[in-house]
Amino acid sequence: MTPRIARALRITRTPDTPRRRRAGLRELALTVAAAALAVPFATVPAEAAHAAPRTGFETSDGARWTGQPEEQEFLSAVDRASDRVAIERIGTTKQGRPLQLVRIGAPRPAAHTMLLICSQHGNEPSGREACLSTVRDLAFARDRATSTFLSRTNVLVLPTANPDGRAANTRGNADGVDINRDHIALQTAEGRAMAGVIRDQRPDVIYDLHEYGATPPYYDKDLFVLWPRNPNVHDGVHDASQTLSDRYVRPAAAESGYSSGIYGIWTDPVTGDPIKQTAGDGQERILRNTSGLKHAVGLLIESRVDALSEAEKADPALNQRRRVESQHAALGGLFTFDDEQRGRIEAATAVSRLAGFADRGPVYLGGADNDPAEPGEVIQDPPCGYRLTAAQYADVGDELALHGVTSRPDGDGAYVPLRQSARNLVPLLLDERATYHLTNGQALTAC
């Protein structure tokens, strides 16, 4: 294979954007980089490069996507050849396909953990290809910086989060369900598997790779990004996530020659001012928001599917290489952020996990960081807990457990206190006023 030549990203930092301030959408100045790298410090030695497995996408020079059997063979080959890699089956889809989690680096339970979720939507392949080659590059790199990084970091990768949708080339899974709208209800095998990983591995960072269709000239950047906007996300987690976007991922994309913007917001092509919001709200059922509610710094990334030129229209491989390379460039920003901001990330996630035990402050049933909740969407004085009947608990107990919510027996039912790490998530699951609640729990004012 042709090894990825490592380089340190030289990124011009931009100031943090305070919470609730409308983010500026000026296009970053583009500079052409020599290569777009998933891991800026990962260097594969020449002797290892010849033995390292390659994906179907790589062997075809981008003419076709890696097939599922090829992916299985590729991952097995990486696993056999590298003592850094372990692969675990975390679930099975409705059609019997495996959901595989790849672990690279420190196996210690308390290690700093990063989770990459790739191809939740089965017809969005570029993130999956970037994830597969990133797994290989981390597994085979032998430079000191990568070895040090992996000695204290647990990198988890779910290369194909929606295998059935991938096989059918559909957005949804075998039942037509959009998995990225199932992170509260947990009705899909795929959503349940991801929830279990997040609960058990407690990732500090969750990065979710997607693709989008452009609407020129208002919505046609090479990449769009978005952090958790749900107003219940702890400020430290929210602000670190926005730093990941504004100071790392977007500048890394610009360094490699790619434009970027904020997902879900159309902009004036002349002034760069926002003119319309089409998506990107605070829905708790979307992974980037669920991740924040579960105390992880996170980001959604979307690469542009549409051809950028007549050359790309004439040569699909050119289009597909650009999509994957832009994902690699953004991943470079992610890894630099995780390496440089490790202390801040861990402090933010730790404080977020502890904040619920104080059991203070309102809980928001709607709104976003750029769209304040209406008065009727705010529980100003939340209950001390919710009581579930035996029938209710039998119906939703497994989902509560997958969410990491603590509950205890109470008569013939169960009691779910708010004073716990998942405090801000509990009303979203059990209050009848919440849009995506699992059941109508009885709010208790005296516990």
pLDDT in tens, 338-370: 999 999 999 999 999 999 999 999 999 999 999
- What pLDDT, on a 0 to 100 scale, did the predictor assign at position 8? 27
Helices 126-140 and 316-340 meet at what angle, rounded to 10? Answer: 50
Q: How does residue 280 score in pLDDT terms, banded at 50, 70 and 90?
A: confident
- Indicate whether 55 pLDDT > 50: yes
DSSP lists the bridge partners of residue 409 as 414
Predicted TM-score (pTM) of the model is 0.91
What integer best gives the mean pLDDT of the chain?
90
DSSP label at 172?
Answer: S
Written as six digits, the tokens of 380 are 């100003």
Span 379-416, pLDDT tens digits: 999 999 999 999 999 999 999 999 999 999 999 999 99
Question: Regarding predicted confidence, which is higher, 38 or 99?
Answer: 99
Q: How does residue 106 score in pLDDT terms, banded at 50, 70 and 90?
A: confident
Output phi, psi for 347, to 5 deg. -65, -45
Q: How does residue 49 score in pLDDT terms, banded at 50, 70 and 90?
A: low
Q: How does residue 46 score in pLDDT terms, banded at 50, 70 and 90?
A: low
Q: Where are the alpha helices (DSSP H) in 111-209?
A: 126-140, 144-151, 163-168, 189-201
- What pLDDT, on a 0 to 100 scale, did the predictor assign at position 42? 77
- Indicate whether 212 pLDDT > 60: yes
DSSP label at 443?
Answer: E
Cα separation, 256 vs 326, in Å, equals 8
- Indicate whether 132 pLDDT > 50: yes
Mean pLDDT of 245-252: 98
Q: How does residue 439 score in pLDDT terms, banded at 50, 70 and 90?
A: very high
Mean pLDDT of 88-96: 98
DSSP label at 153?
Answer: E
SS3 (DSSP) at 168: helix
Output phi, psi for 167, to 5 deg. -65, -35
Neighbours of 337 (CB within 10 A): 26
Burial tier of 77 (Cβ tally within 10 Å: 0-12, 13-18, 19+): middle
DSSP lists the bridge partners of residue 302 as 210, 224
